[in-house]
Amino acid sequence: MKFKWNLLGVLIGIVFPITSAGAWDDMQRIRTAQALGSVLGSEQACNLRYNQSAIQQFIADHIPASDMQFAGQLMIMTQGSEYELQNMSTSVRTAHCTQTARVAKSYGFID
């Protein structure tokens, strides 16, 4: 069964800034897991090498320590992103990887 991901949801998660942990709710968790999962799931397909310390810092800064659901949702979103990348056309992958690299750089995941 082919996964169908809501591109609008991914874009919303990337475009809207991630708020502080104080305003955390289920929708924020979903948006953050979706956006971060897209970025992390693209690492290999886009030939990127992420700074692991920067990822750790992003999690520490944006995800409440008590959120036991985030890791599972992130894993699902990351796997979905990896799967979708296998089926992208060359042009779509180029556009996706270009923007993913820009986002990753903005958060310090790459130089």
Tokens of 40: 């992390």
d(CA 59, CA 90): 31
Closest to 110 in 3D by CA, of 42, 64, 9, 19: 42
Which percentage of the chain shows pLDDT scores above 70? Answer: 78
Residue 69's CB is within 10 A of a number of other CB atoms, namely 11
Per-residue pLDDT of 34-62, as tens digits, reads 999 999 999 999 999 999 999 999 999 99
Which percentage of the chain shows pLDDT scores above 90? Answer: 76
Residue 73 three-state SS? helix
The answer, as to whether pTM is greater than 0.85, is no
The pLDDT score that the predictor gives to residue 41 is 97
d(CA 64, CA 90): 37
Tokens of 64: 């409440």
The pLDDT score that the predictor gives to residue 47 is 97
